[in-house]
Structure 1
Amino acid sequence: MQNYVFVIDQNKEPLNPITPKRARELLTKQKAAVFRMYPVRYPENAKCRN
């Protein structure tokens, strides 16, 4: 299973996920910026299963 990076456009609309390699290239060329390191948020009162 390959990892993917979630991408949003300038209007904060979701785009197709891209590979980490492509994301690094965009960051290096300053064509992209990090919006959030951890996109998944869980409610504080949610119970986790072990």
Structure 2
Amino acid sequence: VAVLVFGGLWGFWGVFFAIPLATLVKAVWGALPDLEPISSDSSAKS
């Protein structure tokens, strides 16, 4: 999938760098903290 996406965007260089770019994106995505939804209960209100 990464080869098709990056290749479609940037041609030969996208195909060439598809796997390293996909690995970088996956590493950054995994390093981001998980976002938790804001609670809607009334105890959080003043």
TM-score (normalizing by structure 1): 0.28
TM-score (normalizing by structure 2): 0.30
Structure with larger Rg: 2
